[in-house]
Structure 1
């Protein structure tokens, strides 16, 4: 029986599952948002939240002692195997989520994929939500007072009359050098 066993096998071998979750974790940390199936998103969420907590605690320890926590960085690198993602995790993500006590990621269900009917989801970092940043910028832009001119209607453009000289040239009064086609 499968009592109290956490995690999903995702129909993969242990090495393939570890490599896939590592790759999804790197993608999430570098892009702040990924689209995948719901099961993979939930598994990746478990992995990424543990890594973020380790990085957050290491950064807090580094700030108090003044020395870098190389041991934690190497443990996280052993899982991620990507220097860029490691830098993003320790330099961008961990300081930004320092005050948050867990729950660093969000799973948003999208519906089913056309090809095979798999349930899709977006996995994103909560504090790096692109939609919230755009909404905040939009609300800041809309909070500015409107000018008085914005309420007025624009005057309609009047058609410009053609001059008589242009009509005469188009009628064929000026001979052209090219022979006319029959």
Structure 2
């Protein structure tokens, strides 16, 4: 039984599991994004967010703990210098998981794990329409980035009915 066991084993022994996590956390922090399977991504998110939280502490003990896990001085330097400043205002949720479809060989669901770029802003001050517009722009940007074809425009029948209704409205105003 797996009572009180936190991490996923991923079908490997403990040393291999932690080697995979070290490599993926290092690559995520180095490149900003990683493509992997969904199970590995969920485990990667858990470990990477702990490393970013260590960087936010910023003291020597935290730097040594991060260096003992990541084993790459350049990545730890980037984590404690650049990424720390980027995520200092954010209280969590430093990564994002985006599904990109099944893998060709074994149909395993592949996902993109990336570091969040946006700044945290208070939602109460913004209007609902502005938030919706920002979300729609983000979705369109990701679709273009990953080659998803945009939806076609309205049919000509719908366009002509809209034009006719606007002409009738203009005539009523003039009368």
Same fold, TM-score > 0.5, yes or no: yes
Residue of structure 1 in register with 2:155 after alignment:
none
> Where do 1:14-29 residues align within 5 Å?
14-29=14-29
Q: Provide the TM-score with structure 2 as the length reference.
A: 0.66
Greater RCO structure (CA 8 Å; 6+ sep): 1
Distance, in Å, in 2 between the alignment partners of 1:13 and 1:2 is: 15
Compute the displacement of 1:99 (Å). Answer: 0.4
Aligned match for 1:94, one of 84, 95, 104: 84
Q: Which residue is 2:65 aligned to? A: 75
Greater C-alpha Rg: 1
Is the Cα contact below 8 Å between 1:97 and 1:127 reproduced in 2? Answer: no
What is the root-mean-square deviation of aligned Cα atoms in Å? Answer: 2.0
Runs of at least 5 residues in structure 1 that lack an aligned partner in the other structure: 59-68, 136-182
Question: TM-score, normalization: structure 1?
Answer: 0.63
> Which aligned runs of 4 or more in structure 1 are off by greater than 2 angstroms?
1-5
Matches of 2:2 and 2:60 in 1, distance apart?
37
Superposed CA deviations along residues 91-133 of structure 1, whole A, max 9, x for unmatched, are 11111100000000001011110101111000000027xx96x
Q: C-alpha offsets along residues 53-112 of structure 1, whole Å, 9 cap, x if unaligned?
A: 111122xxxxxxxxxx22211111000001111011001111110000000000101111
Aligned length: 123
